[in-house]
Amino acid sequence: MSVFRRALSGFVALATVVAVSSFVGAPAATAVALPAGFQEQVVFSGLSSPVDLEFAQDGRILVAEKGGRIKVFDDLADTSPTVFADLSANVHNQWDRGLLGMALAPGFPADPYVYVLYTYDAPPGQSAPVWNDVCANANDGRCVVTGRLSRLRADGNTMTGAEQVLLHDWCQQFPSHSIGDIAFGADGMLYVAAGDGASFNAVDYGQFPSGAPTNPCADPAGEGGAMRAQDIRTPADETQLDGTLLRLDPATGAAAPGNPNIGAADPDTRRIVATGLRNPYRITMRPGTNETWISDTGWTTWEEVNRVTDPTAGVTNFGWPCWEGNARQPGYDNANLGVCEALYTAPAGTHTAPFVAWNHSSKLVANEACPTGSSSSTGVAFYPAAGGPYPAAYHGAVFFADYSRGCVWASLPSTPGGLPNPANLQTFVSAAAKPVDLEVGPGGELYYADLGGTIRRVRYFPGNQPPSAVIDATPTQGPAPLTVTFNGTGSTDPDPADEGRLRYAWDFTGDGVTDSTSATATFTYATAGTYTARLTVTDTLGATHTSTIAVTPGNEAPTATIDTPAVGTTWKVGDTIGFTGHATDPQQGTLPASRLDWNLVMHHCSAPDTCHEHAIRSWTGVASGSFEAPDHEYPSYLELTLKATDQEGLTHTVTRRLDPKTVDLTFTTVPAGLPLTVGPASGVTPFTRTVIQGSTNSVSAPSPQGSSTFASWSDGGSQSHVITAPTTATTYTATYTTAPVQQRIGHTAAGASLDSGAMNHMNGSRFVTGADPASVTSMSVYLRSVQAAPNNQYQLAVYTDVNGSPGARVATSASAALTANSWNTSPIAATLAPNTAYWLMYNTNGDNNLSYDTGSANQGAWSGTTAFGTWPATFGSASRWNAKFSIYATAGVDDTAPRVTVTSPSGGATGVSVNAPITVRFSEGLAAGTVTAANLELRGPGGTLVGRTVTYDAAEQAATITPSAPLAAATRYTVTVRTGVTDAAGNALAADHQFSFTTADPGAPRFGYDQVGGSLDSGAANYMNGSRFVNGGSATTISQISVYLRSVAAAPANQYQVAIYADANGSPGALVASSTSGTLTANAWNSRPVAATLAPNTAYWLMYNTDGDNNLSYDTGSANQGAWSAPRPFGTWPASFGTSSRWTAKFSIYAS
């Protein structure tokens, strides 16, 4: 195909080339990083949100764009593709919905079918287009769509005939994790994956939207939303396909022969070979097999790559939403949904763990450049087991991608050509460009689709590597004649021998003539037009690379202006936000609205500085419009973009950030300290969550918790319900009732062998308590016959045991009247020690001889008569007998589940020593036999278990995890305390407890006090406190400040901020930088991002401030060098500090 090039009207009248010696620097950018010998190249550009690419056997490449168009490139050199098919009228392209999956028939083009999977722009039973890609609030649960699998017949480079629909299904409410991907197995069958279509903001089991029409997909109660991914486990209703992998006949879309449930009555049940998937965005087949590998995008904690080893052996269940990663999903677990509860108690093997899983806060490979935080699994592809240009170590490897982190990893086999090893991970591409699909091309090279508009490949050069040409040109537009300064010194070559020895060839007008061979040059364009300047760089062995840039003398780009919304505009969910804008052009004046394009993007963040994008909506050719502010979890913000394009194609883009209005929601329980679940995560009350005003937030009060049973929420909601966030800070309280749980000790059976006929005696039986203290609240006795009044009175007592006889009296009851042939109960209060013998006695007002029994024949004793109500201090032994008595005590039982109270390192801690002990402290003593390595897991990158020993200190009620070897530096580790841990009474942890920490980077120094101890911890939590330190001999950049406190005030006074100050004669001087506010946790390192560059050999101050009374106090690290001043409002950092009274405290606070 031809390459379009603007024709030049006439020749350049004046062209002057001058060598330039001065350096013109190119702007810094984050460069892609690859292993040695590899380079990334852009092969296709100018695409609109490419999401899938496929290679045909004849060399053609097909690229699917999210909006619904499929383009065909004849080969890798083709820069002008043909549109094969345009399905945009049927495709719903909003947020993450669109045309996402594509596959070629295995025999293509002889078998001329292209298979596509897309979101259909209509609810069930309706015809597209219904929404026209525009739902006013796509995230309110009312924008219901379906999914469609079709095949398109190819005739050359275009589709011929009508679309053949193979399957139209998948009712989905929310605008993400819609349909997914398709691929062919070695068996010739078509494998199809789709997401659950549920809410990504809240726990969703079919209760959305809160107003009509609730549950528009008509799912049974508790089985909608994300629970559709487990629908095959609820056969009473029609099976749904959401959250599943299907194996289909590619000619009909029916279930393929050999499927596990091929004999089922429900046709969708027959189609399913795997379930329990959230967003199986990409799938691939292990070459030569039917093994299906799934890139499944997770929620807020885990990402997964899953493996279906044999799709015909049985339905594989990956657990979503009951499980995420290697742990139960807290939000769905605590909603007490029947489907999840049944899965938790199902036999081993019912739920299949991921091949590899990575926590959002963890690196997969120690010390890698890939960031943590926002994460999304978005690509998977296999390298051939043999052949290809990559080194042999990659043979059989599986590559997988994360769109949010911008990274691609390789799981390498232990032996080349073997099965990938999840513990053998390598960072393959970091700073990748928005990868959303991975493919290995016919030449054995990895390609990926960049959602930003390009297709890229990764090449390997075992010997000499080609250079990379980089052009900087200033200016590239302006009135003619236009003199442009060109600079190629930013060009590089990976081979050290070539650095400084590259050769440059400039072609400034695109006529094929070399105009300059200098690294830097100027060129004057005398005539208006659009020119392509080309730089070719050649290394010492003749390898070349060419880069181009457009220059437009006689034309200048327009200037776009967003008039509304104004800078600083904020929003809450449901607000209507209007926008207006205009553009002016130096040559064309005010541009018409047809030259204006708008785009709205949601930046979804795991932290304020770690975000990824969701495209929400675009407008073409308008100067104004409006949109409804969407529902989304926090932190996040909207970005509105206006692009103006003049008649010559020059553009200018401006953006406006629109932050949400937030509100703090505080959650408490009565009694205090019980865990609650908000959205995807649980917390021990009280805790506070910051959310967007008007957002939907699912809450659950797990029940029962020990002896506590949920009773009510303060807002009147049910045990699990949805809160629409108000505009003012609000506290939500879950109230529990505590029912007494009791045990009976003694002889609790009534019968001839136990009842006493000697009712006129003081009788008793001996027993031994269990492993826990028992609080007796009553005693009961059973007699077959009773004397007439007044001789029908009785009393009860508890005695200690002394050498097998009743010893000291512990407690007695008041007298009461007996009833024959029934249990007679009287209140009595006594606390019995564990593992100790006691006696239960009763006395009646007959002749009152004494008699007792140990529970074995001929072990009792008689004594003389005693007046009724006169309990002896001790009992002696005389004649013996063999009676037993029906008598027992009722005592309270320990049914309170143990809790994790403190961990070291604390959750989220950074800079942890690689040799630091890992300690978990509990709320009560544990059964030592349950404190094992199996119940206290330690996992590193990729979810790999770390070898360890676990010991238990009963006195400290603490378990210590000792790794078998020092941990890796700068690596995220996750500890999971499993529910197999129990207390002495057998009560298990209510739910798995998980926390993560990051080991220290030896290259990241710390400044200040990074130790914890009584001489350092601050008990003055309600003050603005700080410590002085001196930086070393070189400039240093810090990214966060951490503080440790022994105690923290209750919410809402548990907020804090940190800051760094310059030093002024021993006191804090000018404010350098400060953090946003966060929530303090006691007995843990609390960290907030703070960016500052510290000068060498210079003193600074690290300060923290909490929202108590906020007096000011600081310390230089030496006694009597601090100062106090007057109270200040929280968050108001003073410009500098004065001195008055002194003090000696030191604070655990450091920067890193």
- DSSP per-residue letters across 656-694: EEEEEPEEEEEEEEESTT-EEEETTEEEESSEEEEEETT
Q: What is the Rg, in whole angstroms, of the alpha carbon atoms belonging to the chain?
A: 37
What is residue 462's DSSP assignment? S
Q: Give residue-wise pLDDT tens across range 254-282.
A: 999 999 999 999 999 999 999 999 999 99
The pLDDT value recorded for residue 365 is: 93
Look up residue 333 and give its amino acid: D
Residues 6+ apart with CB under 8 A from 724: 210, 694, 695, 696, 697
Q: Give residue-wise pLDDT tens across range 194-203.
A: 999 999 999 9
| ω into 420 cis (within 30 of 0) | no
Distance, C-alpha 255 to centroid of its chain? 34
Cα–Cα distance measured from residue 1024 to residue 1123, given in angstroms and rounded to the nearest whole number: 11
Taking a C-beta distance cutoff of 8 angstroms, is the pair 1019, 805 a contact?
no
Look up residue 766 and give its amino acid: R
Look up residue 677 and give its amino acid: T
Angle at 558 between CA 556 and CA 559, to 5 degrees: 130
**Residue-averaged pLDDT of the chain:** 86
The pLDDT value recorded for residue 63 is: 99
The pLDDT value recorded for residue 2 is: 32
Candidate ranges 15-19, 290-294, 413-417; pick with highest mean pLDDT: 290-294
DSSP string, 467-527: -B---EEE-SEESSSEEEEEE-TT-B-SSGGGTT--EEEEESSSSS---B-SSEEEEEE-S
Average pLDDT over residues 225-252: 96
The pLDDT value recorded for residue 335 is: 92
Angle at 682 between CA 342 and CA 1056, to 5 degrees: 175
Cα–Cα distance measured from residue 354 to residue 277, given in angstroms and rounded to the nearest whole number: 11
Query: Around Cβ 1147, how many Cβ atoms within 10 Å?
Result: 26
Average pLDDT over residues 573-600: 96
* 3 state SS for 691-720: EECCCEEEEECCCCECCEEEEEECCCCCCE
Q: Give residue-wise pLDDT tens across range 1047-1074.
A: 777 777 778 888 898 888 777 888 888 8
Strands 446-450, 435-440: parallel, antiparallel or unpaired by DSSP? antiparallel
Strands 1111-1113, 1023-1030: parallel, antiparallel or unpaired by DSSP? parallel
696 phi, psi to nearest 5 deg: -90, 135
The pLDDT value recorded for residue 820 is: 83
Nearest Cα neighbor of 166 from 88, 228, 101, 217 is: 101
Task: Give the CA distances from residue 716 to residues 340, 671, 708, in Å, rounded to whole numbers and listed in that order.
Answer: 25, 18, 19
| Environment class of 770 (CB within 10 Å of its CB; exposed 0-12, middle 13-18, buried 19+) | middle
Average pLDDT over residues 577-586: 97
At 962, is the pLDDT very low, low, confident or very high (cuts 50, 70, 90)? Answer: very high
pLDDT at 425 over 60: yes
Query: Around Cβ 186, how many Cβ atoms within 10 Å?
Result: 13
Taking a C-beta distance cutoff of 8 angstroms, is the pair 122, 145 a contact?
yes
Nearest Cα neighbor of 375 from 196, 601, 611, 179 is: 611
Residues 6+ apart with CB under 8 A from 380: 282, 283, 284, 293, 294, 295, 305, 398, 399, 400, 401, 438
What three-state secondary structure class fits 272?
Answer: strand
Taking a C-beta distance cutoff of 8 angstroms, is the pair 941, 366 a contact?
yes
At 917, is the pLDDT very low, low, confident or very high (cuts 50, 70, 90)? Answer: confident
Cα–Cα distance measured from residue 1007 to residue 864, given in angstroms and rounded to the nearest whole number: 82
341 phi, psi to nearest 5 deg: -60, -35
Cα first-last separation, the chain: 55
Distance, C-alpha 370 to centroid of its chain? 16
Distance, C-alpha 191 to centroid of its chain? 27
At 5, is the pLDDT very low, low, confident or very high (cuts 50, 70, 90)? Answer: very low
The pLDDT value recorded for residue 1023 is: 60
The pLDDT value recorded for residue 146 is: 98
pLDDT at 468 over 50: yes
Taking a C-beta distance cutoff of 8 angstroms, is the pair 404, 412 a contact?
no
pLDDT at 592 over 80: yes
Nearest Cα neighbor of 556 from 582, 583, 580 is: 583
| The length of the chain, given as a count of residues | 1152
pTM summary value: 0.71
At 1080, is the pLDDT very low, low, confident or very high (cuts 50, 70, 90)? Answer: confident
Candidate ranges 298-312, 802-816, 904-918, 1110-1124; pick with highest mean pLDDT: 298-312
The pLDDT value recorded for residue 1141 is: 41
Residues 6+ apart with CB under 8 A from 107: none
The pLDDT value recorded for residue 858 is: 39
What three-state secondary structure class fits 234?
Answer: coil
The pLDDT value recorded for residue 525 is: 98
The pLDDT value recorded for residue 856 is: 39
411 phi, psi to nearest 5 deg: -95, 110
Nearest Cα neighbor of 680 from 364, 422, 332 is: 332
Angle at 684 between CA 679 and CA 689, to 5 degrees: 45
The strand ranges marked E within 360-490 are 377-382, 398-402, 407-413, 420-430, 435-440, 446-450, 454-460, 472-474, 477-478, 482-487
The pLDDT value recorded for residue 1113 is: 65
At 838, is the pLDDT very low, low, confident or very high (cuts 50, 70, 90)? Answer: confident
Average pLDDT over residues 560-578: 96
Q: Give residue-wise pLDDT tens across range 750-808.
A: 654 454 444 445 577 778 887 777 888 888 888 777 888 888 888 888 988 887 777 88
Who has greater pLDDT, 317 or 749?
A: 317
Q: What percent of the chain has pLDDT over 90?
A: 58
Token pair for 258: 């050999």
Q: Is the dihedral of CA 551, 554, 558, 559 positive or negative?
A: positive
Cα–Cα distance measured from residue 78 to residue 73, given in angstroms and rounded to the nearest whole number: 6
Lowest mean pLDDT of 345-349, 785-789, 1126-1130, name the range: 1126-1130
Longest Cα–Cα distance in the chain: 137
* 3 state SS for 24-53: CCCCCCCCCECCCCEEEEEEECCCCCEEEE
209 phi, psi to nearest 5 deg: -75, 165
| Environment class of 338 (CB within 10 Å of its CB; exposed 0-12, middle 13-18, buried 19+) | middle
Nearest Cα neighbor of 815 from 791, 790, 796, 839 is: 796
267 phi, psi to nearest 5 deg: -65, -30
Nearest Cα neighbor of 565 from 547, 586, 549, 580 is: 580
Cα–Cα distance measured from residue 475 to residue 549, given in angstroms and rounded to the nearest whole number: 11
Strands 316-317, 272-275: parallel, antiparallel or unpaired by DSSP? parallel
Look up residue 267 and give its amino acid: P
Who has greater pLDDT, 24 or 774?
A: 774
At 7, is the pLDDT very low, low, confident or very high (cuts 50, 70, 90)? Answer: very low
Can you tell me which residue has the tokens 């059976």?
Answer: 749
Lowest mean pLDDT of 20-34, 176-190, 529-543, name the range: 20-34
